[in-house]
Structure 1
């Protein structure tokens, strides 16, 4: 019963006959327990009878029964219960696999008795709302799987553990947590002069560029620069041909979990999408690379670019742009800012203060000190954050 079911399943898949027998019996633990207890109780009763007979012959009278009872209890407790069961619990595979070769034929031999005992026992269990069939299932919840990964130790490299845990975290995050906000979307405004459009294409740092007419709300499509190169080389590129090369935009409803959106990108053969709210207004942009970075980390080895728009100062504070997401701060700096409400530092401060603040306003949220250093267009442009002191720092100061 203490065997690792997943390790047992692996051994069974590799062709270990004893593991297959043990796995088969553990699928119905009620029948296995019935077989074991039938033999256990039979021999315990037989031992009690023999001990009573021997005790009465050696010590006639009630003293013989008392001595036999005490001696048998001690012997059974040490040699029949505590020692063997502790040993088997500490080394389950060493004893369970060989025991399967004995228990399996016993289960078949004693099947009529096992069936009767199991039938009565399961009937009593169902009266109190317990189903033996459901109890035999061993599926892991997300939190249990997270614990298994975290406790794997040296069996799984630390980096791989982080990746597995990040995959499990995808269902707890939505596209708003990682999207590029609409005011930071880099695109091409086709209403501008052609020279400005050509410069934007030439100097672009992205392979896919949104095309819009005057405003991002009037989105025309997304063009891949690889398709533009040929026409540009032939000097046949203009606004009309650029729009002809663009692909229709792909829209993502707000609140979509990251794990679901990753599947949506795969099914739709897309790599970039625009997050829209319930009114159809564009809120931001998400790419498949953004989701993959949530699993494997940033596609860069430079620690300075690990988290954008966050700068550490010598006094222990951090200068943070208001558009930085709370999730990225918590993940990269190990902070514990609340994530159940607003997604960005700007939204968190506005929700906490309940009004448009002025520069220099201070606030404390979940033990973190905030000071607004710059406001722009009714939003917090930048702020300074003091994280709470760590226990180590507190002890040093004391």
Structure 2
């Protein structure tokens, strides 16, 4: 070192600090790169992304390489700085060199490059991987030795570097990612993505048409009445039953009956021959599961049955799809507008049998849906009795008035105007 001039030592020190900054920035950039964006870019044959992906398959080796390089450079820089300090200030220069070099490395070789790498990980990680990959091959024996020692220590702590699984997201975390996407994903598309995630949290009972509201045909009714119902039905599929829903015979596709109906060739015998087998759905089936079952079985409609085989309601493929994409026009008449009627005073008259999920979605409310599925059921559960007349109550933070009770059911409920808005928690 005595043969090297002080100015040259300053240049060497500057180069060593630059190399230290490179290793520090590379470490932060490699560990901060978005794994999902990285995977996408690797699939698009981005060479930098492919190199980074290969290096991150064994993060223990990558970190070992970077730390070896960084520590070697920092030790060399310390030695050079000590020599410079002694030449310029004598013995006091050792202490001075230590203090100054610590500040320089901290500012220029640690904080600054790591901050830049954290803000722009891809810009740092992709180019630096071009040097790190061949450097790993050159220093592999040393990296392997250090990894063996550290990995054995990790095994004592119950950690295995070889079993690194990478990054994965739960459904709740994915939901957060969708909401945080902001303008990158249109709001309508965000709602659809969240709707798909919500399917696993809802069951067929949450969206089914209750058995008392199923629109069907009683085969034992007067034939003229049956023909009139068929001709005026807004539904493409009707349930045919004998006397009661419990004695269901099957579904009718009204489109198949249009021609014989117009030609007056339809008879009760041909009507029964047109019946299609009933597709039964077990109670409690998640919507995500039922959607796949509908797809596999090529069915579009089914009856929900409980553990005793009793019919509880009806579910269609359209009902499940609307949970994802929202309401859309179908061949089935939508009567939701009749279930929620705005009043001049700003209040809303709600039909007691309305589905709570539909009510929450339509009016941006937050009634609990983990118990009863209808507003009538929720109020009855809260009161623990059937009200005999008009009654005011506060339920789930909302002020309600029972307007009409009929046949042991709450037919109409009023929601006061100031409670329509979504509550803030």
- TM-score under structure 1 length normalisation: 0.93
In the alignment, structure 1 residue 333 sits paired with structure 2 residue 363 = yes
Q: Which residue of 1 aligns with 2:294?
A: 265
- CA shift, 1:307, in A, is 5.3
In the alignment, structure 1 residue 31 sits paired with structure 2 residue 61 = yes
Conserved 8 A contact 1:213-1:219? yes
Q: Which residue of 1 aligns with 2:268?
A: 239
- CA shift, 1:392, in A, is 11
Name the larger-Rg structure.
2
User: How far apart, CA to CA, are the structure 1 residues paired with 2:345 and 2:146?
Assistant: 72
Task: Give SS of 2:371's match.
Answer: coil
Conserved 8 A contact 2:364-2:421? no
Distance 1:177 1:74, change over 3 A: same
User: How far apart, CA to CA, are the structure 1 residues paired with 2:57 and 2:343?
Assistant: 59
Conserved 8 A contact 1:369-1:387? no
Distance 1:179 1:127, change over 3 A: same
- CA shift, 1:330, in A, is 1.7
Conserved 8 A contact 2:211-2:311? yes
User: How far apart, CA to CA, are the structure 1 residues paired with 2:112 and 2:166?
Assistant: 30
- CA shift, 1:126, in A, is 2.8
Distance 1:94 1:248, change over 3 A: same
Task: Give SS of 1:232's match.
Answer: helix
Q: Which residue of 2 aligns with 1:291?
A: 320
User: How far apart, CA to CA, are the structure 2 residues paired with 1:278 and 1:95?
Assistant: 60
- CA shift, 1:236, in A, is 3.0
Q: Which residue of 2 aligns with 1:360?
A: 390
- CA shift, 1:227, in A, is 1.8
Q: Which residue of 2 aligns with 1:383?
A: 413
Q: Which residue of 1 aligns with 2:251?
A: 222
- CA shift, 1:188, in A, is 0.5
- TM-score under structure 2 length normalisation: 0.87
User: How far apart, CA to CA, are the structure 2 residues paired with 1:373 and 1:182?
Assistant: 24
In the alignment, structure 1 residue 80 sits paired with structure 2 residue 92 = no
In the alignment, structure 1 residue 101 sits paired with structure 2 residue 122 = no
Q: Which residue of 1 aligns with 2:23?
A: none
After alignment, is 46-55 or 336-345 more displaced? Answer: 46-55
User: How far apart, CA to CA, are the structure 1 residues paired with 2:335 and 2:405?
Assistant: 24
Q: Which residue of 1 aligns with 2:280?
A: 251
Conserved 8 A contact 1:190-1:197? yes
Q: Deviations over 1:20-61 (max 9, x none)?
A: 000111122111111111100110111112222222232222
Equivalent residue for 1:210, pick from 202, 214, 239: 239
Task: Give SS of 1:375's match.
Answer: strand
User: How far apart, CA to CA, are the structure 1 residues paired with 2:359 and 2:189?
Assistant: 21
- CA shift, 1:134, in A, is 4.5
Equivalent residue for 1:195, pick from 209, 221, 224: 224
In the alignment, structure 1 residue 17 sits paired with structure 2 residue 17 = no
Distance 1:235 1:315, change over 3 A: closer
Distance 1:147 1:110, change over 3 A: same
In the alignment, structure 1 residue 92 sits paired with structure 2 residue 121 = yes
User: How far apart, CA to CA, are the structure 1 residues paired with 2:407 and 2:158?
Assistant: 61
Task: Give SS of 2:314's match.
Answer: strand
In the alignment, structure 1 residue 343 sits paired with structure 2 residue 373 = yes
Distance 1:282 1:244, change over 3 A: same
Task: Give SS of 2:32's match.
Answer: coil
User: How far apart, CA to CA, are the structure 2 residues paired with 1:217 and 1:392?
Assistant: 40
Task: Give SS of 2:313's match.
Answer: strand
Q: Which residue of 2 aligns with 1:57?
A: 87
Q: Mind listing any 5+ residue stretches in structure 2 that lack a counterpart?
A: 1-30
Conserved 8 A contact 1:194-1:239? yes
Distance 1:393 1:43, change over 3 A: closer
In the alignment, structure 1 residue 369 sits paired with structure 2 residue 389 = no
After alignment, is 34-43 or 368-377 more displaced? Answer: 368-377
User: How far apart, CA to CA, are the structure 2 residues paired with 1:241 and 1:182?
Assistant: 26
Conserved 8 A contact 2:399-2:419? no
Task: Give SS of 1:364's match.
Answer: strand
Q: Which residue of 1 aligns with 2:352?
A: 322
After alignment, is 32-41 or 327-336 more displaced? Answer: 327-336
Q: Which residue of 2 aligns with 1:2?
A: 32
Greater RCO, 1 or 2 (C-alpha within 8 Å, sep 6+): 2
Q: Which residue of 2 aligns with 1:282?
A: 311
Conserved 8 A contact 1:307-1:328? no
Task: Give SS of 1:370's match.
Answer: strand
Q: Mind listing any 5+ residue stretches in structure 1 that lack a counterpart?
A: none
- CA shift, 1:104, in A, is 0.6
